[in-house]
Amino acid sequence: MGASTAAKRGAERPDGGAAEGMPAERRIAILLLAATAAALGLAGVYIAGGQPQAEGALLGISLGGIGMALILWARGLSTEGTVMGDRGTLAGEDEDVEAVEEAVEEITDEPGRRSVLKLFWVAGGALVLSAVFPIRSLGPAPGRALLTTAWRPGARLVDEEGRPVRVETLEVGGFLTAFPQDAEHAADSQVVVVRVADGEIRPRPGRENWSPQGYIAYSKICPHVGCPVGLYQQDTRELLCPCHQSTFDVLDGARPSFGPATRSLPQLPLSVDREGFLTAQADFDEPVGPGFWNRD
């Protein structure tokens, strides 16, 4: 739709607004009346108790009607045809340009000023150099914080309500998320506790007494990028990470059997204390979560 078409239409309709049939004034009037009715209706709906969708629709009709009326007014009634204004030239007069060029040359050609110009470079360089130091503001180095969690020898396992996990809490085929007692908000310490039939687990060397009575606990943080491994497929004894479908074999030390994870989930050594509560024998024997720069 080019300018020529628009010009032709303008010629066909010398009054500049009246479309086929209805004059622009009447259209505008109808829109404004509709907007008025919708606004009153909006007030009515609100007083009657409110209904979000109806209120939204009425508000839309009211605002839209006023807007459409304004546009129609601007297009149809405000002017008679297109008005063109000259913009003038943007470039300066020739003698002005010359005068500026001369002035700049005068300023920079003086020998003393040239060395001052070099100082601009020096100052800029120093500023860039100073920007290196705020790297310190990123905070203290993590130290050993990434290597350990809140699990201490003898710490009881508690669920998300803070209730201690007892040896009869889970049935075979059950699972829950547990935290160390008195450190329930230590996000890096959460473990997923699974109970399988006693003797079903194939423990790794050195982990033979880590899973009493079929209870076995693994870090809930995926070693891939750290999502919670919160999905347990009971029939295949597999833990599943929802983010990238890394799958871990519960019976085989949470070895990754599918997906992008390359390391097994760290296993928490469990024991049952004399009162029947599940406790940790010690902290994990490896860092939890995804890899980091100085992880072994």
Partner 1 sequence: MRRRVLVLLALAGGSLAVALLTVGPSGAQVRPPPTATGNQPAGPADVEGGRQLYAIACTTCHGAEGAGVEDRGPSLVGVGAASADFYLSTGRMPLDRPRSQAERKRVAYTPVQIRQLVAFVASLGPGPAIPRVDARQGNLPEGNRLYANNCAPCHSSAGAGGALGHAVYAPPLNRATPVQVAEAMRVGPGAMPIFGPETLDDEQVASIVRYVDYLRHPDDRGGLGLGHLGAIPEGFVAWVVGLGVMLMAVRWIGTKD
The residue within the footprint of partner 1, chosen from 36, 108, 209, 245 (CB under 8 A), is: 245
Residues 148-167: x where in contact with partner 1 by CB under 8 A, - otherwise, as a string: ------------x-----x-
Q: Is 294 in the site for partner 1 (CB under 8 A)?
A: no
Q: Is 10 in the site for partner 1 (CB under 8 A)?
A: yes
Stretch that binds partner 1, among 39-47, 91-99, 143-151, 230-238 (CB under 8 A): 230-238
Give the residue among 210, 171, 209, 215 at the shortest CA–CA distance from 192: 215
Q: Is 226 in the site for partner 1 (CB under 8 A)?
A: no
Rounded CA gap, 295 and 285, in Å?
13
Give the residue among 200, 197, 168, 194 at the shortest CA–CA distance from 267: 194
Answer for the pair 242, 232: CB distance below 8 angstroms, yes or no.
Answer: no
Rounded CA gap, 248 and 270, in Å?
19
Stretch that binds partner 1, among 89-97, 105-113, 197-205, 226-234 (CB under 8 A): 226-234
How many residues bind partner 1 (CB under 8 A)? The answer is 44
User: Based on CB atoms, which residue is closest to partner 1, 188 or 238?
Assistant: 238
Rounded CA gap, 207 and 204, in Å?
5
Answer for the pair 222, 186: CB distance below 8 angstroms, yes or no.
Answer: no
Q: Is 235 in the site for partner 1 (CB under 8 A)?
A: yes
The residue within the footprint of partner 1, chosen from 69, 170, 265, 288 (CB under 8 A), is: 170
Q: Is 83 in the site for partner 1 (CB under 8 A)?
A: no
Rounded CA gap, 175 and 222, in Å?
17
Q: Classify burial at 155, counting beta carbons within 10 Å of its beta carbon; exposed 0-12, middle 13-18, buried 19 or more.
A: buried
Q: Is 92 in the site for partner 1 (CB under 8 A)?
A: no
Residues 31-70: x where in contact with partner 1 by CB under 8 A, - otherwise, as a string: ---------------------xxx-xx--x----------
Rounded CA gap, 213 and 233, in Å?
20
Give the residue among 211, 294, 192, 295 at the shortest CA–CA distance from 252: 211
Q: Is 244 in the site for partner 1 (CB under 8 A)?
A: no
Residues 100-129: x where in contact with partner 1 by CB under 8 A, - otherwise, as a string: ------------------------------
Rounded CA gap, 68 and 33, in Å?
12
Q: Classify burial at 102, counting beta carbons within 10 Å of its beta carbon; exposed 0-12, middle 13-18, buried 19 or more.
A: exposed
Q: Is 256 in the site for partner 1 (CB under 8 A)?
A: no
Give every CB contact of residue 123 below 8 A, 6+ residues apart in sequence: none
For residue 129, what are its two tokens? 């150099």
Stretch that binds partner 1, among 1-9, 97-105, 118-126, 129-137 (CB under 8 A): 1-9
Q: Is 242 in the site for partner 1 (CB under 8 A)?
A: yes
Residues found near partner 1 in the complex (CB under 8 A): 1, 3, 6, 9-10, 16-17, 52-54, 56-57, 60, 71, 75-76, 82, 160, 166, 168-177, 194, 228, 230-236, 238, 240, 242, 245, 247, 258
